[in-house]
Amino acid sequence: MTGRKSHRPTRSGPLDRVLGDRGRGGGFDRLVEGIGERFARAREDRGSRGNKPRGRVAQFNLRNRLILVGGSLGLCAVALVGRALDLQVISNDFYRQQGDARSLREIPIPTSRGMITDRNGEPLAVSTPVESIWGNPKELAKNPERLPELAKALGVSRDELTRKLAQRAGKEFMYLKRRINPDEARKILAHKVPGVFSQREFRRFYPQGEAMAHVLGFTNIDDRGQEGLELAFDHELRGKPGTKRVIRDGAGRIVENVDLVQSAEPGKDLTLTLDRRIQYLTYRELRRALVETGASSASAVVLDIETGEVLAMANLPTYNPNLLSAGNRDTHRNRAVTDVVEPGSTMKPITVAAALNAGAVKPTTLVNTTPGWMPNGRYRITDTHNNGVLTVTGVITKSSNVGAAKLALPLPNDYYYNFIRGFGYGQKPNSGFPGESSGLLAPPSRWSGTTKATMSYGYGLSATPVQIAMAYAAMANGGKLIQPTFVKGQRNEARQVLEPAVAGEIMRMMQTVTEPGGTAKQAAILGYHVAGKTGTTRKFSATGGYSRKYVSLFAGVVPVEKPRFSMVVVVSEPDPTKRGYYGGSVSGPVFRNVMDGALRLMDVAPDDIETWLAVQAAAEAKRLKQNGGKPSGPVVPVATQTVASPPPIAASALVQGGAR
């Protein structure tokens, strides 16, 4: 059987010929060359079939092209590896910073403000932790449907919240509600509104409220001192906030605490010279005086004579530092150091001291004040009545304007000016309290023909209550003037401004003012000798001249034997129809009530036991008479009853208006 011959299609294309060559065992080079030749012939055949002339046939080298492509790919791989090495090893700091800038943040660590205490360690100003709600405006803008819910939780209108967010649309931070109770903050956060967070802050709290407001001052919403000692010692009290580095996610939440950059340093505590008990007594008596006299304002200062420490300083009207939004800014100033008054007759002991110190007179020298007035240029110097012939002591006892003028006029102008200035008038007390005034004391070159005479009884110059208290403390301290201080332990250097013997004589003269026949019997304190001087001046009118409004003053020292306290009381514009307007009847009782309590609180021994025993015996005799001669227990005079400390003030009461 003849075998059938298989007929298969003949492979005539270039690829068939290449494969045929490969099957015959040609090498790779021969294979590449064959491919090139066959592709060239194929192009020539296509050109001839199309009857189109072609130019020079480009030589095609597949090997070179493959090498070129492989080399290019290799270079790309090397470049990618090099770039990765540069990003991850060589230049990684820059890109790490760029990444951190999008997630790593440094946030402040709040620190508490230093505590302020009185001389006995009782807290006067403390910082309590609170929460502040803040939001990310960009994040809140993505969820406008949650804004009504957030506005209701914050206690504001939706329109107000929307307006605030629109104003800070390009920001990532804005406060929504600051310094609120932590419980209130938790209620707001419980709504889980995206972009709303809280942070810890501190808020100042003043336990004594209105009683200490003018001395302590207050802080603003950022816990920085704005008035009073809070401002004066702000740098020490504020401390230094810390800083920590954290990682936040896209929603602003802290996901990791990375590092502590700087630890927080709490503020330093400050111990004042004030005694909160004496301060409360002063505030209470001033408030009572305003009610009973119908006055518009009042100030009082209590100094420790030996050290110059300020034990109390109060002003009315006052404000509640825990609720500043409810107060009038005019009530914020400390009138005792910023407001000046003409000292009136409280100037007469200094005038008499100037005459005694110059050797011009003695305490027993006679001064003729008849007929109760004397000419002074186009004006008259008058007394309330004709006192006739007085001793120099009597000039102070009866508060004679004519007598004071006659003592001052013979003194040289420069001597009299320098003597007054030596007591601190016309210059700042340098107590460290912000805004203190220097008062007004014109030099002799600016005096007119009537200036010295009017200055002798307290007109034509001005001083603050604290300056007057300094001057009286100097007379009680053997003639040594000490600048006042508010910081316990700080002792200013004393300066001798008056001979000790003259200072002692002045003290004995001023003692007669509070005794029978003097102008300030209402300032007397049972069991103690009191030295002082009243003052009554007319207020200067804004239109020129003096108005019909008065300022009532009393400046005193107690006890006379071993002086401990110097106090000045200034009551402005009392109603003449209520208790009059003289310093003895308006300001004298305030001095008596405050000093009566302060002497016993500080355990100051009485220096007038005879009077105390006489009053006690008289009270005992009166009681026996009322009981028919039968004893019914010991009698305790009113002046010896215990003075209660100020009651603690609840936080709720302070929010409603402070101490009452």
Any catalytic annotation for residue 345? Answer: yes
Residue 657 lies in a domain: no
pLDDT digits (tens, 9 = 90+) for 583-637: 999 999 999 999 999 999 999 999 888 888 888 888 878 887 777 766 655 555 5
Claim to verify: residue 247 and residue 298 sit in the same structural domain: no
Claim to verify: residue 559 and residue 585 sit in the same structural domain: yes
Least confident of 174-178, 405-409, 443-447, 640-644: 640-644
Residue 549 burial (10 A CB sphere; 0-12, 13-18, 19+): middle
Which among 569, 595, 612 is the end of a domain? 612
- Residue 295 contacts residue 572 (beta carbons within 8 Å): yes
Residue 475 lies in a domain: yes
What share of residues in the chain are helix, strand, coil (percent, to 5)? 40, 20, 40
Residue 412 has pLDDT above 70, yes or no: yes
Q: What is the DSSP string of 476-505?
A: HTTTEE---BSBTT--PPPEE-S-HHHHHH
Task: Name which residue leads in pLDDT, 641 or 165.
Answer: 165
420 three-state secondary structure: helix
Task: Report pLDDT for 634.
Answer: 54
Residue 57 has pLDDT above 50, yes or no: no
Task: Report pLDDT for 30.
Answer: 61
Residue 248 has pLDDT above 70, yes or no: no
Q: How large is the angle between the packed helices 14-23 and 28-49, nearest 10 degrees? A: 160
Is residue 312 very low, low, confident or very high in pLDDT (cuts 50, 70, 90)? Answer: very high
Claim to verify: residue 204 and residue 285 sit in the same structural domain: no
Claim to verify: residue 303 and residue 233 sit in the same structural domain: no
Question: Which CATH number belongs to the domain containing residue 559 in this structure?
Answer: 3.40.710.10
Claim to verify: residue 163 and residue 300 sit in the same structural domain: no
pLDDT digits (tens, 9 = 90+) for 535-548: 999 988 777 778 88
Please name which of 32, 10, 7 lies closest in space to residue 21, comparing C-alpha atoms: 32
pLDDT digits (tens, 9 = 90+) for 216-226: 999 988 888 99
Max Cα-Cα span within the chain: 182
Residue 196 has pLDDT above 90, yes or no: no
Residue 211 has pLDDT above 90, yes or no: yes
Task: Report pLDDT for 136.
Answer: 84
Instruction: Tell me what the pLDDT averaged over the chain comes to.
Output: 84
pLDDT digits (tens, 9 = 90+) for 341-392: 999 999 999 999 999 999 999 999 999 999 999 999 888 999 989 999 999 9
Task: Report pLDDT for 46.
Answer: 59
Residue 294 burial (10 A CB sphere; 0-12, 13-18, 19+): middle
- Residue 150 contacts residue 133 (beta carbons within 8 Å): no
pLDDT digits (tens, 9 = 90+) for 552-595: 999 999 999 999 999 999 999 999 999 899 999 999 999 999 99
Single out the catalytic residue among 127, 345, 456, 566: 345
* Share above pLDDT 90 across residues of the chain, in percent, rounded to a whole number: 51
Claim to verify: residue 547 and residue 574 sit in the same structural domain: yes
Residue 53 lies in a domain: no
Is residue 329 very low, low, confident or very high in pLDDT (cuts 50, 70, 90)? Answer: confident
Claim to verify: residue 595 and residue 453 sit in the same structural domain: yes
Could you give the number of structural domains in the chain?
2
- Residue 243 contacts residue 107 (beta carbons within 8 Å): yes
Residue 267 lies in a domain: yes
Task: Report pLDDT for 640.
Answer: 46
Is residue 194 very low, low, confident or very high in pLDDT (cuts 50, 70, 90)? Answer: confident
pLDDT digits (tens, 9 = 90+) for 58-89: 455 777 888 888 888 988 998 888 888 877 77
Question: Which CATH number belongs to the domain containing residue 248 in this structure?
Answer: 3.90.1310.10
Q: How far apart are CA 28 and CA 33, in angstroms?
A: 9
Residue 27 has pLDDT above 70, yes or no: no
pLDDT digits (tens, 9 = 90+) for 474-492: 999 999 999 999 999 888 8
Q: How far apart are CA 129 and CA 284, in angstroms?
A: 31
Residue 498 has pLDDT above 80, yes or no: yes
200 three-state secondary structure: strand
Range of the domain at 579: 277-322+330-612
> What six digits make up the tokens of 633?
């227990």
Which runs of consecutive H residues, i.e. helices, occur in 334-408?
Answer: 335-338, 348-357, 392-397, 401-408
